Amino acid sequence: MVLGLSELNLRPQIEYAVLSGGKRLRPLLVVLSAESVGGNRNKVMPLALAFELMHTATLVHDDIIDQDDTRRNKPALHKKWSINDAILTGDALIALSVYLASGYGQTILQTVAQSALELCDGEHIDITFSSKSMNEESYFKKISEKSASLFRAATYCGTLAGGGSPSEVASLTMFGQNFGIAYQIRDDLLDLTQKGSMVFKDLRSGSVSLPLIHSYNACSTAEKRQIESRLQTLMKGNPRMNRKMVEDLLETVRQTGSLNYCEQKMVEHLSKATASISILKDTEHKAYLVEMAKTLKTWG
């Protein structure tokens, strides 16, 4: 017997998490990928929902790990209910996601499960910071797993479910991969340039973004030691020294040209994304994907 959502004791928590807003990019990519190869939107909607539920599960768990009190200007689920409720809600969302994906065959089900594993591994890389992580190879491995994996899997599964050919599946998978990487770089830039309060939170949790990594590697040995010392102090959460240290780090990032470097990297991956789907027939759905890539860097 399949337990329906209406029968779950966790229904209020699940609905709170899922209906809390967001861009819904991952389910949108499932639908557009399927439609770009001639698939039917209605037939892939449960699959699109599976990706949104998986993404929501990671947000619920991330808020616990990062000790965030709010999510999209509302109390985080673990603050509105409890940590136990939040853990179980995240687990339930994963189970619901897998259940929905199972209706599309073994390959898609395995892909969804694999993307969830990559998310976990990427998150673990993120929270186990050391100075050895201050290189682009480690950064791109992390975001390829933590950030891009669901985008990549969404386009892959959407194309497959839509009846795409092997070449169409490959091209749209590459679109999802590069779009997902560019999306994370964009987030890194926004955190530094528009979300001042986020900078300290990220640094305190050990999450080091591309602008800081590029800046670190552009510095002298002595400057690198100073940056490492500041990061270690920030991670210990010394409130008397936090603000000044964050300002000093941000100034170093600006002086080393790291913001421009990251902007170029983002544009590079967006160009790769649009180029990867050039083999597709020209349809309005393909045009939507191209427009998403072209305008990502201007999103607020």
User: What pLDDT shows up at residue 1?
Assistant: 42
Mind listing the pLDDT tens digit for each residue in 115-156?
999 999 988 888 776 656 678 988 998 899 888 999 999 999
Q: Where does residue 6 rank: exposed (0-12), middle (13-18), buried (19+ CB within 10 A)?
A: exposed
Which H/E stretch holds residue 71?
strand 70-71
Q: Where does residue 46 rank: exposed (0-12), middle (13-18), buried (19+ CB within 10 A)?
A: middle
89 neighbors 14 (Cβ within 8 angstroms): yes
| Residue 164: how many other CB atoms lie within 10 Å | 24
> What stretches in the chain show pLDDT beneath 70?
1-3, 129-133, 194-206, 235-242, 300
Instruction: Say which CATH class 11-298 falls into.
Output: mainly alpha
What is the signed CA dihedral for 134, 139, 140, 144, rounded to 10 degrees?
160
What is the signed CA dihedral for 162, 168, 169, 172, rounded to 10 degrees?
-100
Cβ within 8 Å of residue 40, ≥6 positions away: 34, 162
Angle at 114 between CA 134 and CA 143, to 5 degrees: 20
Phi, psi of 275 (to 5 degrees): -65, -35
DSSP code for 224:
H
